Amino acid sequence: DLLSFVMNDKGDQQNNNKHSNYLDDLLGLNLKEKVVQEITPPPNSTELFNNNHIVIFSQTQTNPQDPNQIAKRLLIYNKCSTQITNFMIFHQLPTEYLIIEKPDLKTNCVTISNAKPLEQILYIKRTASIRFEMKTSVRYNVNGQDFTVNFISN
């Protein structure tokens, strides 16, 4: 029966590991996702965040006519073998920086395809001489489990 299957401390280690993995899967505790592939960074980009599910790169360009204006292009890739849903991203800047335009993400779902990342472009204006620091919070769901990650980028 299942109880003796779980509680059995006899037998070889391989069977115990197999039973443990089966039980974890049954209880939804086996949260490891298979990484589809490693993502090659886009040209002229900086990696902002990387975990088992997603990787986020940033490409930054300063406006040649106004060095106080910058455009940040965020590229968000799905690294796992399943779909990521309910994807939301939030940014907080120092008060000396303004987000001029922050278009909404076109979808709430990062798909399995790594060939086409989710993209967000931020137009930012500096109003005083202070070091740039952007706090970002990302929320998403993988296989019914919610995740929240926070990071700071310069």
Q: What is the DSSP string of 125-149?
A: EE-SS----EEEEEEEEETTEEEEE
What are the tens digits of pLDDT across the range 64-113?
A: 999 999 999 999 998 888 888 888 888 899 989 988 766 656 555 555 44
First-to-final CA distance of the chain: 56
Query: Average per-residue pLDDT in the chain?
Result: 76
Signed CA dihedral, 64, 119, 31, 135: sign only = positive
Q: Which of 9-13, 51-55, 127-131 has the highest mean pLDDT?
A: 51-55
Cα 46 to Cα 60: distance, rounded to the nearest angstrom = 9
Mean pLDDT along residues 4-24: 46
pLDDT-derived band at 51, boundaries 50, 70, 90: very high
Greatest CA separation for the chain: 74
Please name the helix (run of DSSP H) or strand (run of DSSP E) that holds residue 35, with its range, or none.
none
* pLDDT-based confidence at residue 6 (cuts at 50, 70, 90): very low
In 3-state terms, what secondary structure has residue 66? strand
Query: Within a 10 A sphere around the Cβ of 4, how many other Cβ atoms?
Result: 7
Distance (Å, rounded) from C-alpha 90 to C-alpha 139?
Answer: 9
Q: Whole-model pTM?
A: 0.71
Q: Which pLDDT tens digit goes with each residue over 124-142?
A: 998 888 888 999 999 988 8
Whole-number Å distance between alpha carbons of 105 and 91: 13
Closest by Cα among 36, 58, 39 to 47: 58
